[in-house]
Amino acid sequence: MDSTKSTVYDGASSTYSFAPLLVEDANPPKKKRNLVWSTQASRWWWRRRWDRQDWRKAGLGALQDLKAFRWVAFLGWLFLLGWIAGLVFLLVMLAINPTSFSVSKKSACQPDGSFNLFMKGYNMWDISGFFQITVAWGTLTFANAKLIDVVWDVVFGRGGQALLAWISWSVFSDYVAASIQGSPVTYETFRTFFLQETPTLYSTWCLAQDFVRSHGLRSRVVMAYVVCVAVFILAFPTLGGAMSGYQTNSGAFVRGYGGELIKYSDFDFVAYVIHDGWRVNLTGDFAVTYARHPDAKEYGFFGLEQKKSTFMNQTLDAPVLNISAFYIPEQYGGKLFGRNWTDPRTQQSPFLDKEALRLAYLKGNETYDLRYVKSNGSCQPVVEMGADLNDVVRETYQWGFSFVQMFVMMILLLIWTVGTTWVWLKASMTFRMRGHQRSDKPKGFKGVLELSAAIRRELPESNPDELSRKELAKEIDKKLRGGSIELRDVESPAMYGLARGFWGWFKGRIWWHASWVAAMLMGIFLHIYLIAIFPCLLVAAIVGRTHSSRAILSLGFILVASAMFAAIQTSAGV
């Protein structure tokens, strides 16, 4: 039988793949290699590896990648990563040293208004300070403090709620649109995501009921996350208002021996006492309050050294002065010698006892011990008076936050940012995998048409157009148990796997990622200039779609970064 097709094997037309089979010589002649390496040979070697056409092709590919790259989206990702990095940095700083943002070293007033000489003894994580303003600043009038508080509630509270709702519901509607293409949801869930722009208390309750009793989304984790985010959005203005506030400025005072109130700032710590002060024309047991005294560090304490010494430009015979120290607070440990001094006779540190602390009131030439200051110290509201005697004396205020609530709010914002980004990525990559656009989701009028078509399809006998609102709701609740709506626009309703997709992207650029990690490590340990190579290689790995394009982009970015670095160094005069 004749056939239009040839019976000859297609590979027979080419002898390239079968070339080894056509040569039957068992001992083919070996090729001679020219081992002489010259400038001409190296030039031809490079030309064979990378000729001008390759350079031109790589350059054109790099330009095309630069033009095709979505730089607006890239800047958006930079902003998102910067926002996440900023939240993480602040959380770490607050967790490591919480008192650095609120406690003043020059005051004995704790953030909660109590009096305590040892400021680091206050626990910023104490639950008693949950509703107290423990991180505050400023010297404001009442009107200014109230204005700042109202602006904060409006801008951060209401504005933040609107922004969170808009972003969250836009992302969640994308995910639901991708999820219901194979996994039905109830009418109430469909209406909440596609016919509403923000969550309400009723819609949040209905979502929780639908997810528990009826048709839910593909992922139970996403279902729980959506409900939690809806509750967070509804409570956001309340949380923002509760974490901020204003309070009066307080000053630390100590009641003196005569009953008068003395400013705590008028006191000074007694660092040393010279027991034989008459040897240098001072009184016995002379109190030294100034910050530094090199003689104590040079000769030690208690006059143990039997040698001549010099004190205040006076030469003294042996022994050295008999100097001892009181308790030196930790914040003065770097300025005053003796805090950790060890007595060679007992091998103990005698100046670490807090009960040995002394305060000196210079104006009254009086000293006070710790027990007296504790029992007679207090924090009083600070008032200010204008230059004119007729001005009204008024209290000043400071505005700030509750440390615990602020920390919790930052954690919630970080969780919301990471979680919403994950949901958005999963929905967006699913749309791209299916060849759809985000605009294809049934929002607005299109959602109304989809919902009405589903109701008519599932209630053919009830004629829903003739029913009242209550009757229609009753029919949907009893007969349909909330209804079921599903979109069948794709052959494969599978969702995109982020972990697998990221691994595929990373695996295809693994050597580029290794190079920018190495550049970052070299920049940290060697020179700051090499840190500039790290973002250059990273951006080149993201923008370029081929190895040659990434190489050209890396070279160009590094040259630009080098020029900028040289210009900065030149302008700085380094």
Q: Note whether 331 and 264 are same-domain residues.
A: yes
3-state secondary structure of 137: strand
DSSP state of 11: G
Q: How far apart are CA 118 and CA 105, in angstroms?
A: 9
Q: Note whether 361 and 418 are same-domain residues.
A: no
Q: Note whether 158 and 184 are same-domain residues.
A: yes
Torsion sign, CA atoms 180, 181, 184, 187:
positive
Q: Note whether 240 and 156 are same-domain residues.
A: yes
Classify residue 281: in a domain, yes or no.
yes
Q: How far apart are CA 365 and CA 356, in angstroms?
A: 19
Q: Which two tokens stand for residue 505?
A: 């992207």
Classify residue 215: in a domain, yes or no.
yes
Residue 440 main-chain phi, psi, to 5 deg = -80, -10
Residues 501-537 pLDDT 10s: 666 666 666 666 666 666 666 655 555 555 566 677 6
Asked whether 330 and 120 are in contact (CB, 8 A), the reply is yes
Rounded to 10°, the helix 510-525/498-508 angle is 80
pLDDT at residue 34 greater than cutoff 60: no
Residues 172-217 pLDDT 10s: 988 888 888 777 888 888 888 888 888 888 888 888 888 877 666 7
pLDDT at residue 426 greater than cutoff 80: yes
Q: How far apart are CA 349 and CA 352, in angstroms?
A: 6
Number of domains composing the chain:
3
Q: How far apart are CA 285 and CA 321, in angstroms?
A: 11
Paired with 247 in beta bridges are 398
The amino acid that residue 326 corresponds to is: F
Element (H, E) at 445: helix 445-458
Domain boundary among 395, 427, 447: 395
Rounded to 10°, the helix 498-508/403-434 angle is 80
Q: Note whether 267 and 382 are same-domain residues.
A: yes
Domain boundary among 360, 395, 430: 395
Q: How far apart are CA 72 and CA 84, in angstroms?
A: 18
DSSP state of 281: T
Q: Note whether 266 and 383 are same-domain residues.
A: yes
Q: Note whether 510 and 550 are same-domain residues.
A: yes
Classify residue 9: in a domain, yes or no.
no
Q: Note whether 166 and 191 are same-domain residues.
A: yes
Classify residue 562: in a domain, yes or no.
yes
Q: Note whether 280 and 389 are same-domain residues.
A: yes
Classify residue 122: in a domain, yes or no.
no
Classify residue 557: in a domain, yes or no.
yes
Classify residue 533: in a domain, yes or no.
yes
Q: Note whether 264 and 359 are same-domain residues.
A: yes
Q: Which two tokens stand for residue 544?
A: 């370029």
Q: Note whether 332 and 211 are same-domain residues.
A: no
Q: How far apart are CA 224 and CA 320, in angstroms?
A: 75
Classify residue 27: in a domain, yes or no.
no
Residues 303-315 pLDDT 10s: 667 777 777 677 7
Q: What pLDDT sits at residue 162?
A: 94
Domain span at residue 215?
136-245+405-478
Q: What is the mean pLDDT of residues 419-434?
A: 84
Q: Note whether 212 and 292 are same-domain residues.
A: no
Q: What is the mean pLDDT of residues 293-319?
A: 70
pTM: 0.70
Q: Among 14-18, 118-122, 473-477, which range has the highest average pLDDT?
A: 473-477
Domain boundary among 352, 377, 395: 395
